[in-house]
Amino acid sequence: MTQEPLFIIAPGRSYTSVIGGMIGQHPQVYGLPEVNLSHVDTLGELLGSLSGPLEFLMAGLLRVLAQLHEGNQTEAAALRARQWVVQRSHWTTQQMFAHIQQQVGPRVLVEKSPLNTLKLDHLQRLLRIFPRASFLHLTRHPRTAGKSSLELRKSLRGGRIEGFPNRVREIDPEKSWLRSQTHIMEFSRELALGQYMRIKAEMLLRDPRKYLTQICDWLGLATDPASIEAMLHPETSPFACMGPPSAMFGNDPNFLKNPVLDFDRLAKIAEPALEGEVDWRPGETFSKPVLRLARQFGYG
C-alpha cells in the first residue's frame, strides 16, 4: 500500500533543500523539488498565480513532470510538461499529486516548498488532501536564517543568480520567520499523535546519520546502513542540479550549484546567541515573540 507523503515544513532559508534532498534519496522515497501546489485548488489557478516575476516557482513541477513523463529534463521536455499542465488546467491539485504518485509507484513522496508555510490555509489544504501525511518541522536559528535571507536578496539584486527575478521585496526576515513558524505551530495542533516531528536543522546536519536514522524510524522506513548512506548523497537526485532554461530551479540555487555534502563544514554549523543587535535593523534586537518562540525551539 502506498504511504502518504512526508512534507518538510519550515520558513525559507531553513536548509530545506539540502535536508529534503537527503531524505529524498532513501531507496523507499521519491524526493520532489518544490512543486508549490498548496496555495491553490486547481492547476488553472496555479498557472495564474505563478506567472510574471513568480514564473520561476513553476520550475519544480515542470521538472518533475518532464522527468517522470520522458525520463529527462531537457528544454523540450520542460516545454511539453508546461503544455501538459495547461491542457489540464481544470485538474485539482489533489489530482496532480495523485498523478505524480501514480508515476512514482509505492515510494513515499517528500516535498518541501517554503510556500507551504506562507499561510495557515496552505498547510490545511495539504492535510485535507493527505489526512495521514507526515509533517517534519525544521527549525533554524532566526539570526542565521535572517542573514541567509539577506545574502540571497543581495545576490538577486546584483543579478548574480541567472534566471531569478532581480526585483526583491524588502521584507523583514525576522517577521517572515515568525509568520511561518507561527503558522506551523498552530497547524501542528491539528495533527494526530505521531504525525508531526520537529527537529533543529543545525543539529541534524551536524550529525546526519544519527538523526536521519531517527526520522526513518519515525516514518517506518528502512534504517539499514545502505539506506542511510544513500541519504548522504543528495547529489544523486535528478533534481540536484540546475534545470533547463525555462525551468531552471525548483530548489535553493546554492544547493543546485553544489549539492555534494561537505561534512567538515556541516560539523561546524553554529547556533549563535539570540541576544544582541540584528543585521537588518541596526541598533535593534529580536522582538519578544521571536525570542520566546526561538527559545521554545531550543535556541539560546
For 25-63, the pLDDT digits (tens) are: 999 999 999 999 999 999 999 999 999 989 999 999 999
Stretch 219-232: mean pLDDT = 98
Domain positions in the chain? 6-296
CB neighbours of 189 closer than 8 A, spacing ≥ 6?
A: none
Q: Tell me, what's the pLDDT at 159?
A: 53
289 torsion bin: left (phi>0), alpha (psi -120 to 50), beta (else): alpha
Q: Reduce the DSSP state of residue 92 to 3 states and report it.
A: strand
Q: Which pLDDT score is estimated for 247? A: 97
Q: How much is the average pLDDT of 282-287?
A: 95
**CATH class held by domain 6-296:** alpha beta
The Cα 84–Cα 62 span in angstroms is 9
On the 0-12 / 13-18 / 19+ scale of CB atoms within 10 A, 205 is buried
Mean pLDDT of 152-173: 64
Answer yes or no: is pLDDT of 1 > 50.
Answer: no
pLDDT at 279 > cutoff 80: yes
Q: How far is CA 137 from CA 103, 114, 177, 226, 299, in A?
A: 27, 11, 13, 25, 15
Percent of the chain with pLDDT strictly greater than 90: 89
Read off the pLDDT of residues 73-105 as tens digits, 9 standing for 90 and up. 999 999 999 999 999 999 999 999 999 999 999
How much is the CA Rg of the chain, to the nearest whole Å? 19
Task: Please tell me whether the overall predicted TM-score, pTM, comes out greater than 0.85 for this model.
Answer: yes
**pLDDT digits over 193-210, tens only?**
999 999 999 999 999 999
- State the pLDDT at residue 167: 53
pLDDT at 158: 55
